[in-house]
A and B are shown apart, each in its own frame.
Chain A
Amino acid sequence: MVAQILVDGTINGAIYALLAIGFTLTFGAANILNLYHGTYYMLGAYFVYALLSMFSIPLIFAVIFSILIVMIIGVFLYYPIKILQKHGGSTSVLIFTLVASYFTQYLLTQIFGSTNLNIPSFINGSLNILGVNVAFSRLLALLISLIIIILISLFMLYARIGKEIVITAQDSYIAQILGINTNRVLIITIAISAMLAALAGIMISPFLTLVPNMWLSPLIMAFSIVILGGLGSIVGSIIAAFIIGYIQSGISIAISSEAAEIVILAVIILVIIFRPSGLLGKKID
């Protein structure tokens, strides 16, 4: 059982990290809590399904196009979000993005109906690790996630735009003074967020049935991780993603996945009471 927990926790943790990094970036850089984030995850999976069933293209192309489409949707949504943030404040943005998620859910329900949808695995077969049968696809997902995490970290550290994103995430006012085009930075940040979320959704999807309400759980997971790791901190999100990944797999296997949900909520409330800025986050104003 312990081995199962370790394996699941590690793989899930890596995928959750992708989900959380995007979420925390948008919050850090734009002070926007984008509740549509879970929907990027869902749409990533749905678009792969749609592309595969409409055109006979190789899986890899479906994946790439799907991610591109979701990124475009993300950027497209940036404009109403920006306007709402200015005129209505964060409340309007929260409500708008939440309701937009529901809207997308109902739209998908109309289009795809209530039948169960599935995406084929990328690779078949499995490997035995520590006495646990792990599907190759899952290992692939772990590999891809780790690679992307490293690439993103390198990007943030060394690429000029990456550094601009980090500075804007820490203090957008100073970023502007330094001559950074914060508008462009925000758009790129949002595109990256959407990309990471969509990728996470695609990698998980061969193991799940696609349902139109599958945006809510990853959204809750994303912000739980980000609260634990600290709003605005990428490193914090990565660490917290694994912590929560292990908690989740541990309790899911030992008791049930609903129990895991309750425990994670309890953890989050404790974090809010005792250390609201999370492990490594911005100090709360």
Chain B
Amino acid sequence: MKRKNGIIIRIIILIFLGLSFFVPFIIKNAFLLGILTIANIYAVFSGSWDILSGFTGKENFGYAVFAGTGAYFVGIISQSFAIPWWIGVPVGGLLAMGIGILVGFPTLRVKGPYFALVTLALASVAQDSVSIFSKITGGENGLAGIDFLSNSSITNYYITLIFTIVSIFLLFEFGMSKNGLILKSLKVDEKAAEALGVNAVRYKLIAFELSSLFAGMSGALLAYYYGYIGPDLIFPLSLNVIIMAVFGGTGMIIPAALGGYTLMIFSQYANSFLGSYNSLIYTGILLIIIMLLPNGIFKSFYKFFALKEGRHSNGEHH
């Protein structure tokens, strides 16, 4: 029963993936290709936010700190010597994971909103630190001179595409496994889960480590893509990643990733005619979605089609 209902969705995903490989043959415009390249990275931003905050309900309001760790690591090191992206990205991810352990260890042990509040404060402190230590971080101007991912927009696209597909696949498989089911039980009723042998703290930490690892890697990748890193690129992420994930739908990785992908594409186009109303509209959209369509756009689609296939429920976890 479970395998059957997965089929249509899996076919759709495969078609989507297949198309994405052929994009550079269809779209020759470097600018447009660039938008899709960035969208690939943002898909991982929102997907990795989801594995922690969507699944366990521990809201990370300071995502920029983790993505920024990877990005600024690359930026700072690149001022002294160049490291290739295939070293910089994983190392950036591991560094971000380290920050995650530091932050997560005290705050995830306690039930309650402490994690959310601390991450909110952390984002603020991090932003101030970038200004204070501007000699190292480049302050408002950021850091340039990072080696580009590659010299071809087509290669850039494929590198990010593969990165995204692998990352989302790993996050998705983890989320849909029994581990993911346990993470969800923590969101719904941590006490009941503990009464059934679940080491809540350990699982929350694992989810957070995954989240920060991919955040750091994506942040680093973004830095390589732009050849530059700065506060304007990184700090809005804390808010934006929430908007993207909730817009797409939390708790299933792929809807959140799609939320990031689509909103990034939309915003690149919309910037020209929305102008300064940009942020107002995105936050407005989020408020509407959270009230009227709390499952998010893509997750609602999924649930709708899943029901249409005649099943009583969505026993998604394998």
Contacts and interface: CB of A to CB of B under 8 A. Distances in A.
Contacts of B109: 273
Contact of A107 (B121, B131, B191, B280): B280
Main secondary structure on A side of the interface with B: helix
21 contacts: A80-B291, A88-B294, A90-B113, A91-B53, A91-B59, A91-B187, A95-B286, A96-B290, A98-B239, A98-B242, A99-B242, A102-B283, A103-B280, A223-B121, A256-B132, A258-B128, A258-B132, A265-B125, A272-B114, A272-B118, A276-B114
Contacts of B283: 99-100, 102-103, 106
Interface residues of B, number: 41
Given A106-B279, A261-B121, 6 more contacts: A92-B294, A99-B239, A223-B117, A269-B118, A273-B109, A276-B110
Contacts of A92: 290, 294
Interface residues of A, number: 43
A274 B235 CA distance: 30
B300 to A, nearest CB: 14
Contacts of B132: 256, 258
Interface in A80-109: 80, 83-84, 87-92, 94-96, 98-100, 102-103, 106-107, 109
Q: Kindly name the residue among B61, B120, B277 whose own CB sees the greatest number of chain A CB atoms within 10 A.
A: B120
Nearest to A263: B125
A217 interface: yes
Interface of A: 33, 35, 80, 83-84, 87-92, 94-96, 98-100, 102-103, 106-107, 109-110, 216-217, 219-220, 223-224, 227, 231, 256, 258, 261-262, 265, 268-269, 272-273, 276, 284-285
B290 A285 contact: no
Interface in B81-113: 106-107, 109-113
A96 B287 contact: yes
B284 interface: yes
A114 B61 CA distance: 26
A110 B279 CA distance: 10
Contacts of B116: 33, 94
A82 to B, nearest CB: 12
B223 interface: no
B122 interface: yes
Contact of A227 (B57, B59, B117): B117
- The winner among A33, A102, A276 for most chain B CB atoms within 10 A is A102
Contact of A269 (B107, B120, B284): B107
Contacts of A103: 280, 283-284, 287
Given A258-B128, A261-B128, A99 B287 contact: yes
A100 B239 CA distance: 11
A84 B291 contact: yes
A130 B310 CA distance: 78
Contacts of B117: 33, 223, 227, 268
Given A92-B290, A96-B290, A258-B128, A284 B111 contact: yes
Nearest to B113: A33
Nearest to B106: A273
Contacts of B120: 35, 98, 219-220, 223
Contacts of A273: 106, 109
Nearest to B239: A102
B146 interface: no
B280 A106 contact: yes
Contact of B124 (A88, A96, A261, A285): A261
Contacts of A268: 117-118, 121
Contacts of B291: 80, 83-84, 96
Contact of B276 (A110, A219, A227, A284): A110
B286 A99 contact: yes
